[in-house]
């Protein structure tokens, strides 16, 4: 037996577990349950609830199984009369001042205290005094209700705040019998991850205000689904009763989310019942070419397909285009690209406005690989705002596993606090830094990095850190890079890989739900699914048939431009909102207005939907089934829970495909998994993906082969005016948009528009803190308040995207280069 295994006996069963395992976990591994309250495997031992007392041979007194490491030849007994007496005694103490309001308590039915009392507790209490009275149902935050009477002071929540969140927002106050959970100065506990305390609270002390009294837990129909907000794809359970959304709970999957979800996942699902939802298919009657009234969804889909086909027949396939969404499922995106490529014969397919290409020169690491790395290098990514659960995992490995963290970014993020090395380059200098780093690693010596804002010795120490590591995980956000610098970054990756002692992988941390999946599904003008370039005609024809187009199509931004010039006649926009989210703002709107046919297939009445000639309702997450691929390349099944009158999106798309199919009847998919099976057949890397293989924890798909990316460092653009500053649009987790609308539970997180600038720039522009300004670029103005900080280097401003209304993307001219803005005082 290996040295790190310990064999012991628990209740006459022999158990062999790794050294350092706690007795309670060892017992669990052989199906012996030792009751606990304060112990949680992610938080580690505390030993304060005393529920897990067990008898250990050769120990004079009862021991707590949650704090005791297993020892060789230990003999543990969990059911002796002595243990049972202790369990009864402890439960009696625990229940001494716990109110008996189980019938009204939201935890009732899934309450560890209830369960343990039934299983181990005394039948009756001997307490004949009044139970202590305390705060009943006060707000701990706008979304969490705190009931201090029910609290059994197990400290799980406060330790979660200390160990996992690491900001000590929730603490114990007072002493002894009077101790209680609270925050400093009774301020609301509204961190990004506060909701997890609801899941870990073993009693009904911390409950979900949104779910308060809405249903009993046993009345819920729970679907094991995935979060559809960021690219982490955390696992969660969607509780539904009588086809109404009730609540969301975390569903631990250590490989994805480590057991936690962020508050946006927990409370960001009001959109399921939003007023803005598209409830029926619509056409615009006064549009000359397209007159048909109040169609059914199927009807509208058929008409859409016919109308686009007609335009293709008249103007050629390059006159139609498709803008997809990184929020769609693999199935939906796969079917759409198939429809446009095979049905309409065009490669005008895209889902993004930034530069990126499928494939990595190094391994595509799964999120859990961070734990075994010894250096995590975060590039241009702000996990806290973009991929919150990744932020928790980075914090965990840095503070508890001794992993080193290096940050390379153009703005300050909360990660800097944990970083061993944090380098901040000037906005727009990303390519220069990557090239310099590549040169430094290759031994070509130090390039001139004066203009990048990073000092030579800083870069040197980063190179040293890299060289000293055995396993490096790169986390990069290509959507926060400018121009073609993602290609330069990929060269850097290839260079790191060349260092023989390093094992290296990357996690492309684009914040959107299924950004990786959208790339894999070929929602790109120049790549077929699985990263097959359009130039590879042979491979394409083998899979997709003779008619598959092999000319590169137009990118999303090009489509908008061609629409403006009238060359593009028809555009189908699927779950995207170019008017708000694309660079250009007003121009995009004008361009879309010029289209002969604009079809919008979306969940909401977005700004783009208002321009549409045909509107198709989309069900989206929470309703439709499908698979998504997370940032770690893990494909998981996202189950729906609610039902609507509309057919699922994949059915609508396949109906369109069948309409234009030349054979007359196309493939009839039975469930979303029928599409998944076709993906497994046709998309390289997805061969192993099937209903069965992704059932429990999902499965990582095989990353597509790297295409040698070429990208040169473009010359820095010069300011149009001397006082112009470079703009960096940052993300904010709780941005006020169609997903989190004004009625959202998370509305208290909405922030005002703030422009962060360096003190030296503020001085030059004679601005001070809290000055009201407008950020101007071309015709577009965004009003904001000045905050002088070290968020970015001098010469730039950081403007977080806090709402749709704010319209920050209107400022950006395109993604080819950095945007220059002027700050004017109002």
Partner 1 sequence: MIQATLSGIKNLTIGMFVTFKNMMTKPVTFQYPEVKRTMPERYRGRHFLNRDENGLEKCIGCSLCSINCPVGCIHVVAAENDPENRVSPGERYAEVYEINLLRCIYCGYCEEACPVDAVVLREHYELADYNRDTYIATKGDLLVYPEPNQFRVNILGNTERTNSK
Partner 2 sequence: MTQILFHNINKKNLHTLEVYEQEGGYQGLKKAFAREPDEIVEMVKASGLRGRGGAGFPTGLKWSFLAKDVFPRYLCCNADESEPGTCKDRELLLKNPHLLIEGMILCSYACKIETGYIYLRGEFYDLCEIMEGAIEEAYAKGYLGKNILGSGFNLDIHTHLGAGAYICGEESALLNSLEGGRGEPRMKPPFPAVQGLYEKPTVINNVETLCVVPYIVNNGAEKHAAIGTEKSKGTKLVSVSGHVKKPGNYEVVMGTTVREIIYDLAGGIRDDNELKAYIPGGSSVPMVPADQVDTPYDYESLQAIGTMLGSGALIVIDHTVNVVETSLRLASFYMHESCGKCTPCREGTRWMWQLLNQIQTGQGEAAHVDKLVDICDNMSFKCFCPLGDAAVAPVISSIQKFRADYDELIEKLTANPAV
Q: How far is the CB of 62 from partner 2 (least distance, A)?
A: 6
Residue 740 tokens, joined = 């989190």
State which residue, 94 or 479, has the beta carbon closest to partner 2.
94
- When asked if residue 742 is in the footprint of partner 1 (CB under 8 A), the reply is no
- Of the candidates 727, 774, 723, which has an alpha carbon nearest to the alpha carbon of residue 753? 774
Rounded to the nearest whole angstrom, what is the least distance from the CB of residue 104 to partner 1 in the complex? 4
108 binds, among partner 2, partner 1, none (CB under 5 to 8 A by kind): partner 1
Among 1, 218, 288, 662, binds partner 1 (CB under 8 A): 218
179, 203 Cβ separation under 8 angstroms: no
Question: Which of partner 2, partner 1, none does residue 96 bind to, with CB < 5 to 8 Å depending on kind?
Answer: partner 2
Helix or strand holding residue 77 (H, E): strand 75-77
Is there binding between residue 45 and partner 2 (CB under 8 A)? yes
**Segment contacting partner 1 by CB under 8 A, of 215-223, 463-471, 588-596, 778-786:** 215-223
Distance CA 801, CA 733 (A): 9
Does 500 bind partner 1 (CB under 8 A)? Our answer is: no
C-beta of 46 vs 206, nearer to partner 2: 46
Piece of the chain touching partner 2 by CB under 8 A; list 86-94, 451-459, 523-531, 583-591: 86-94
In this complex, which beta carbon is closest to partner 1, that of residue 260 or of residue 267?
267
Among candidate residues 474, 462, 475, the one with its CA nearest the CA of residue 383: 475
175 binds, among partner 2, partner 1, none (CB under 5 to 8 A by kind): partner 2
177 contributes a contact to partner 2 by CB under 8 A: yes
- Of the pair 154, 773, the CB lying nearest partner 2 is at 154
Residues in Cβ contact with 409 at an 8 Å cutoff, skipping those fewer than 6 apart: 378, 379, 380, 381, 382, 422, 423, 424, 425
Q: Read off the tokens for 466.
A: 């890299």
| CA atoms of 710 and 135, how far apart (whole Å) | 63
Q: Which residue has the tokens 């086809």?
A: 243
Which CB atom, from 181 or from 597, has the smaller least distance to partner 2?
181
Quick check: 118 binds partner 1 (CB under 8 A)? no
The β-bridge partners of 698 are none
Residue 97 binds to partner 2 (criterion: CB under 8 A): yes
What are residue 604's DSSP bridge partners?
A: 277
Stretch that binds partner 1, among 102-110, 160-168, 624-632, 653-661 (CB under 8 A): 102-110
Q: x/- contact string, 748-767, with partner 2 (CB under 8 A)?
A: --------------------
Our finding on whether 61 is near partner 2 (CB under 8 A) is: yes
Structure token digits, residue 568: 């593009």
Task: Choose between 2 and 100: whose C-beta lies nearer to partner 1.
Answer: 100
Classify each residue of 340-364 as buried b or exposed e, where b means 16 or more C-beta atoms within 10 Å of its C-beta. Answer: bbbbbbbbbbbbbbbbbbbbbbbbb
- List the one residue out of 710, 631, 708 whose CA is nearest residue 361: 708
Binding to partner 2, residues 115-134 (CB under 8 A): 126-127, 129
Record the tokens describing residue 294, joined without a space.
Answer: 């109040």
Structure tokens belonging to residue 444:
């070509």
Q: By rule CB under 8 A, what string of x and - marks binding of each residue 219-258 to partner 1?
A: x---------------------------------------
Helix (H) or strand (E) holding 564: helix 556-565
Among 6, 34, 49, 398, which residue sits at the site for partner 2 (rule: CB under 8 A)?
49
Dist. CA 459–CA 365, nearest whole Å = 25
CB of 242 to partner 1, least distance (A): 8
- Residue 18 or 720: the one with the smaller Cβ distance to partner 2 is 18
The binder of 47, among partner 1, partner 2, none, by C-beta within 5 to 8 A per type, is partner 2
**Which range of residues in 46-54, 317-325, 594-602, 623-631 is near partner 2 by CB under 8 A?**
46-54
Question: How many helices and strands, by DSSP H and E, does the chain display?
Answer: 21, 36
Question: What is the spatial order of strands in the sheet that 699-700 belongs to?
Answer: 626-629, 634-638, 699-700
Any residues with CB less than 8 A from the CB of 115 and at least 6 apart, and which? none
Count of residues interacting with partner 2 (CB under 8 A):
34
User: Judged by CB under 8 A, does residue 214 bind partner 1?
Assistant: yes
262 backbone dihedrals φ, ψ, rounded to 5° = -90, 170
Neighbours of 400 (CB within 10 A): 13
Residue 264 has, within 13 A of its CA and on its CB side, a CA count of: 27
* Token pair listed for 131: 């139970």
* C-beta closer to partner 2: residue 84 or 101: 84
Examine residue 103 and tell whether it contacts partner 1 (CB under 8 A). yes
104 near partner 1 (CB under 8 A): yes
The least CB distance from residue 731 to partner 1, in Å, is: 35
**Residue 501's Cα: distance from chain center in Å?**
32
Of 61-69, 546-554, 618-626, 799-807, the window that binds partner 2 (rule: CB under 8 A) is 61-69
Q: For partner 2, which is the closer residue by CB, 121 or 268?
A: 121
Interface with partner 2 (CB under 8 A), residue from 11, 41, 92, 270: 92
- The rounded distance, in Å, linking the Cα atoms of 265 and 229 is 7
**730 touching partner 2, by CB under 8 A:** no
70 CB-contact burial (10 Å; exposed 0-12 / middle 13-18 / buried 19+): buried
Tell me how many degrees the CA angle 334-340-345 measures, rounded to the nearest 5. Answer: 135
Q: Is 246 helix (H, G, I), strand (E, B) or coil?
A: strand
Q: What CA–CA distance (Å, rounded) separates 227 from 247?
A: 13
By beta-carbon proximity to partner 2, the closer residue of 131 and 216 is: 131
Count CA atoms within 13 Å of residue 262 on its CB side: 27
Q: What mask of x and - would describe binding to partner 1 in positions 123 to 152, judged by CB under 8 A?
A: -------------xx---------------
Query: What residue ranges bind partner 1 (CB under 8 A)?
Result: 101, 103-104, 108, 136-137, 212-216, 218-219
Query: What residue ranges bind partner 2 (CB under 8 A)?
Result: 45-51, 53, 60-62, 67, 85-86, 89-90, 92-94, 96-97, 126-127, 129, 152-153, 155, 172, 174-179
């Amino acid at each position: 037996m290996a040295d790190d295994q310990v064999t012991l006996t628990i209740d006459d069963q022999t158990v062999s577990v790794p050294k350092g395992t706690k007795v309670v976990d060892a017992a669990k591994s052989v199906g012996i349950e030792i009751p606990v309250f304060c112990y949680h495997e992610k938080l580690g031992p505390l030993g304060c609830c005393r529920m897990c007392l067990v008898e250990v041979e050769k120990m004079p007194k009862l021991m707590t199984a949650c704090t005791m490491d297993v020892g060789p030849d230990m003999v543990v007994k969990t059911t002796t009369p002595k243990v049972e007496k202790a369990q009864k005694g402890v439960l009696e103490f625990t229940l001494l001042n716990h109110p008996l309001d189980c019938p009204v308590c939201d935890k009732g039915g899934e309450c560890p205290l209830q369960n343990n009392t039934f299983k181990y507790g005394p039948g009756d209490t001997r307490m004949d005094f009044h139970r202590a009275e305390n705060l009943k149902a006060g707000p701990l935050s706008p979304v969490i209700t705190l009931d201090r009477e029910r609290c059994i002071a197990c400290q799980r929540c406060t330790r979660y705040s200390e160990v996992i969140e690491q900001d000590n927002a929730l603490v114990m106050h007072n002493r002894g019998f009077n101790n209680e959970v609270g925050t400093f100065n009774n301020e609301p506990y509204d961190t990004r991850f506060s909701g997890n305390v609801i899941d870990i609270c073993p009693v009904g002390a911390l409950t979900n205000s949104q779910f308060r009294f809405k249903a009993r837990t046993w009345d819920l129909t729970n679907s094991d689904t995935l979060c559809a907000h960021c690219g982490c794809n955390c696992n969660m359970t969607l509780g539904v009763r009588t086809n109404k959304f009730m609540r969301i709970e975390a569903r631990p999957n250590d490989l994805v989310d480590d057991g936690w979800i962020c508050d946006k996942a927990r409370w960001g699902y009001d959109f399921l019942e939003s007023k803005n939802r598209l409830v029926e298919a619509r056409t615009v009657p006064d549009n000359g070419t397209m007159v048909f009234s109040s169609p059914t969804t199927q009807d509208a889909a058929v008409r859409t397909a016919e109308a686009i086909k007609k335009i293709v027949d008249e103007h050629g396939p390059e006159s139609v285009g498709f803008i997809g969404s990184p929020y769609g499922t693999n199935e939906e995106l796969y079917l759409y690209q198939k429809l446009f490529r095979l049905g309409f014969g065009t490669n005008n397919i895209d889902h993004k406005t930034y530069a990126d290409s499928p494939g990595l020169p190094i391994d595509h690491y799964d999120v859990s690989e961070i734990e075994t790395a010894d250096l995590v290098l975060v590039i241009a990514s702000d996990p806290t705002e973009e991929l919150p659960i990744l932020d928790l995992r980075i914090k965990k490995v840095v503070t508890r596993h001794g992993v080193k963290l290096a940050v390379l970014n153009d703005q300050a993020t909360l990660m800097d606090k944990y970083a061993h090395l944090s380098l901040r380059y000037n906005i727009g200098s990303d390519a220069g830094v990557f090239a310099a780093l590549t040169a430094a690693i290759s031994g070509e010596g130090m390039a001139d990095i004066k203009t990048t804002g990073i000092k030579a010795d800083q870069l040197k120490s980063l190179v040293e850190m890299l060289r000293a590591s055995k396993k490096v995980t790169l986390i990069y956000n290509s959507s926060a890079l400018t121009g073609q610098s993602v290609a330069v970054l990929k060269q850097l990756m290839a260079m790191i890989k060349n260092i023989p002692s390093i094992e290296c992988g990357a996690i492309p941390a684009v914040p959107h739900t299924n950004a990786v999946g959208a790339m894999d599904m070929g929602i790109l003008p120049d790549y077929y699914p699985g990263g097959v370039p359009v130039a590879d005609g042979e491979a394409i024809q083998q899979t997709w048939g003779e008619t598959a187009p092999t000319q590169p199509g137009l990118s999303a931004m090009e489509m908008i431009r061609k629409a403006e010039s009238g060359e593009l006649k028809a555009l189908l926009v699927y779950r995207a909102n170019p008017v708000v989210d694309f660079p250009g703002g007003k121009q995009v709107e004008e361009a879309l207005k010029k289209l002969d046919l604009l079809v919008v297939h979306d969940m909401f009445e977005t700004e783009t939907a208002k321009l549409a000639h045909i509107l198709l309702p989309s069900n989206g997450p929470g309703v439709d089934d499908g698979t998504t691929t997370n940032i770690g390349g893990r494909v998981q099944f996202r189950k729906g829970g609610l039902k609507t009158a509309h057919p699922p999106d994949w059915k609508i798309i396949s109906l369109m495909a069948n309409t234009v199919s030349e054979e007359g009847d196309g493939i009839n998919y039975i469930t979303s998994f029928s599409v998944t099976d076709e993906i497994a057949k046709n998309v390289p890397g997805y061969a192993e993906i099937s209903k069965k293989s992704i059932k429990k924890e999902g499965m990582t798909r095989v990353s597509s082969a790297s295409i040698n990316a070429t990208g040169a460092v473009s010359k820095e653009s010069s300011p149009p005016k001397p006082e112009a500053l470079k703009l960096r649009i940052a993300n904010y987790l709780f941005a006020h948009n169609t997903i989190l609308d004004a009625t959202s539970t998370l509305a208290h997180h909405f922030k005002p528009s703030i422009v962060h600038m360096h003190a030296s720039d503020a001085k030059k522009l004679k601005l001070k803190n809290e000055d009201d300004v407008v950020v101007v670029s071309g015709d577009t103005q965004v009003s904001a308040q000045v905050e002088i900080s070290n968020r970015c280097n001098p010469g730039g401003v950081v403007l977080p995207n806090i709402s749709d209304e704010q319209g920050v993307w209107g400022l950006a001219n395109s993604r080819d280069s950095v945007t220059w803005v002027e700050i004017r005082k109002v």
